């Protein structure tokens, strides 16, 4: 990782994101930025006052930030539409990772509420790390949510290139839904008309599809365990997170259509709203080969 940026709304929950960003900056010995965007949709006098107050507060904390991250961050206080301006700032600073805090229910103070966070995830050209938990350790138990699409392969590569996956490998989750049985039931066939081993056969087919995907994308070396779960993506994610000590979920923000399980739109949004682990979302971009810090 060459550089990272923390976008903060200065809330208590953003403190977790601050500490994770600082931990990553120290771990990778990379430059880091702290960004606060003042919403331009308010009276000009209030905007100017907030900019001055925030800039003073952050600069007063600079020594503390430097102690956390091993080096002082560069402080940016900007004015604009939060989602758009944050995305723009990641381009201006040429960063590899954007770190944000978990969203709150108070729309007057939190720039990461509802559609703002969703817009940011959909428009960002860099991976976004949504921090929900205290940064007590490096990521040791990540879960890679796969749908056998190019987008999910890129997400795995991004997490690996950023150095967020352990050397021992990570768990990969592939969710399958036995649609054939559901179609037969919808057509009026009784449950007895569906072969008893249908779900087992579908699991075998899903496992084979996952194996082919990992082989074709040359991702086997970063996968330690393969989980094939029956059900819709969010159902499978909840089930795995209930039984596994996952500390980071890695997912692409777009996938393919058709029979493949895709992690887009409502699924990614639901994961960010509902799940309490940290979540790395990766846009469908090409990651050039680069030296890792």
pLDDT in tens, 71-106: 999 999 999 888 889 999 999 998 999 999 876 544
Contacts of 31 (CB under 8 A, 6+ apart): 2, 3, 25, 71, 73, 74
pLDDT in tens, 141-173: 999 999 888 888 999 999 999 999 998 889 999
Residues 137, 47: Cα–Cα separation, whole Å: 37
- pLDDT value for 249: 95
Token code pair at residue 42 = 């308010």
Neighbours of 90 (CB within 10 A): 25
Q: At what angle do helices 62-69 and 14-28 cross, to 10 degrees?
A: 50
Alpha helices in 107-149 (DSSP H): 115-123
As averages over each run of 10 residues, the pLDDT of the chain (293 residues) reads 92 87 96 94 90 94 95 94 90 93 54 62 88 90 90 91 90 80 46 59 86 91 90 89 93 55 56 88 62 41
Q: Are strands 128-131 and 278-282 parallel, antiparallel or unpaired?
A: antiparallel
Distance of CA 99 to the CA centre of its chain: 9
Contact 278, 129 (CB under 8 A): yes
- pLDDT value for 130: 93
Distance of CA 179 to the CA centre of its chain: 28
Q: What is the DSSP string of 26-52?
A: HHHT--EEEEEEEESSS-HHHHHHHHH
Q: What does the chain come to in residues?
A: 293
Contact 7, 37 (CB under 8 A): yes
Token code pair at residue 192 = 């007895």
Radius of gyration for the chain, computed over Cα atoms and rounded to the nearest angstrom: 21
- pLDDT value for 103: 62
In the chain, which ranges are E strands? 4-7, 32-39, 74-80, 97-101, 128-131, 142-146, 170-176, 223-230, 248-252, 278-282
- pLDDT value for 147: 86
Q: Give the single-character DSSP code of 143.
A: E
Distance of CA 290 to the CA centre of its chain: 21
CA angle 83, 148, 194 (to 5 degrees): 120
Token code pair at residue 46 = 């209030």
pTM (two decimals): 0.83
- pLDDT value for 276: 87
Contact 32, 125 (CB under 8 A): no
- pLDDT value for 291: 41
- pLDDT value for 131: 93
Contact 162, 138 (CB under 8 A): no
Cα 185 to Cα 190, 198, 203, 280: the distances in Å are 6, 13, 19, 37
Sheet of 74-80, strands arranged across: 74-80, 32-39, 4-7, 97-101, 128-131, 278-282, 248-252, 142-146, 170-176, 223-230
């Amino acid at each position: 990782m060459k550089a990272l940026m923390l976008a903060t709304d200065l809330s208590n929950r953003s403190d977790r994101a601050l500490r994770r960003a600082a931990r990553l900056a120290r771990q990778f010995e990379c430059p880091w930025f702290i960004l606060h965007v003042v919403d331009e949709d308010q009276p000009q006098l209030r905007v100017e006052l907030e900019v001055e107050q925030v800039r003073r507060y952050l600069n007063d904390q600079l020594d503390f930030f430097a102690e956390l991250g091993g080096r002082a961050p560069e402080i940016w206080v900007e004015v604009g539409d939060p989602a758009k301006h944050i995305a723009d700032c990641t381009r201006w600073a040429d960063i590899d990772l954007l770190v944000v805090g978990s969203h709150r229910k108070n729309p007057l103070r939190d720039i990461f509420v509802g559609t703002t966070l969703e817009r940011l995830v959909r428009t960002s050209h860099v991976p976004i790390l949504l921090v929900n938990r205290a940064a007590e350790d490096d990521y040791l138990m990540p879960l890679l949510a796969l749908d056998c699409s190019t987008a999910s392969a890129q997400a795995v590569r991004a997490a690996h290139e950023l150095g967020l996956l352990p050397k021992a490998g990570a768990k990969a989750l592939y969710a399958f839904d036995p649609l054939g049985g559901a179609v037969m039931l919808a057509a009026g066939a009784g449950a007895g008309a569906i072969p008893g081993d249908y779900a087992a056969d579908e699991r075998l087919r899903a496992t084979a599809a996952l194996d082919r995907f990992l082989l074709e994308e040359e991702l086997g070396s970063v996968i330690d365990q393969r989980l094939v779960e029956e059900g819709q993506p969010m159902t499978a994610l909840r089930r795995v997170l209930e039984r596994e000590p996952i500390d980071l979920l890695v997912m692409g923000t777009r996938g393919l259509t058709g029979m493949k399980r895709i992690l887009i739109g409502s699924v990614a949004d639901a994961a960010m709203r509902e799940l309490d682990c940290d979540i790395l979302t990766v846009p469908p971009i090409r990651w050039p080969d680069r030296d890792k810090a």
